[in-house]
Amino acid sequence: MQQHETMARAIIADDHPLFRAALKQALIETLGSDVLEAESFTSLQALLLQERQIELLLLDLNMPGNQGLTGLTTVRNAYPDILVMIVSANENPAVIRKAMAFGASAYVPKSAPLPLLKEAVEAVLRGDNWLPPHLQATPVAEPDAASEDFAAKLEQLTPQQFKVLACIADGLLNKQIAWELNVQETTIKQHVSAILRKLHVINRTQAGVIFREMLRAESDEEAVNLDA
């Protein structure tokens, strides 16, 4: 019986059904295995809990429930062995650099033809990082020192501490976070102290602000508006 060289389980997380269908066809041909689909970040998280053999995730930055690069960092924190490829219409160079700094294995523009997607998947499964050819020799491919520094700090957080930090960034108080995570408020206070120490910040407000700012992924148009 002939075996495929590359066997992998993958999830496509995107809220556009037609785009998912096109990606799925391309991935099945490349991977030779089942490909699951998620239309929101909530459904993606449910799939990741159920499916323990996932090796590859294709993640859209702008799907429901995913704010900027928060989804990427959430997955990387909870499932460090899963390879994450960003597939996005956002081609802002600053966002691409941030995504790679926060652990994406590839950044594929949605405008890329399917053969290029297959090339990216094959490169990632070989253990390589991948950017589109027209970006490989540009400043986009250079490291983002600030993002890499913050990513290293995030890696020190436990999954529970990461959840607490995300709640802090959403403006929740310790009591609210305790209710949300179904733990005692004293436990949340301990987590907050550890988070402040690991992020080298002095208070929870600063922690929330830096988390939101570092993981923001505005589009080119939004970036222009912000600069105006």
Within a domain: residue 110?
A: yes
Reduced to 3 states, what is the DSSP secondary structure of residue 9? strand
**Which residues span the domain enclosing 205?**
156-214
Residues 78 and 118 in one domain: yes
What pTM value is reported for the model? 0.81
For 57-110, write each residue's pLDDT tens digit: 999 988 888 888 999 999 999 999 999 999 998 888 888 888 999 999 999 998
Position with higher pLDDT, 179 vs 143: 179
The count of structural domains within the chain is 2
- As to burial, measured by CB atoms within 10 angstroms (0-12 exposed, 13-18 middle, 19+ buried), residue 65 is middle
pLDDT value of position 139: 62
Residues 174 and 112 in one domain: no
pLDDT value of position 223: 37
What's the CATH code of the domain at 190? 1.10.10.10
pLDDT, the chain, mean: 86
Residues 24 and 92 in one domain: yes
Could you give the residue ranges of the DSSP H alpha helices within the chain?
A: 17-31, 41-50, 70-78, 93-101, 114-125, 145-155, 159-169, 174-181, 185-199, 204-214, 220-227
Residues 112 and 200 in one domain: no
pLDDT value of position 133: 80
Within a domain: residue 43?
A: yes
CA 218-73-103 angle, 5° bins: 95
User: Among the three residues 86, 114, 141, which one is the final residue of a domain in this structure?
Assistant: 141
pLDDT value of position 68: 84
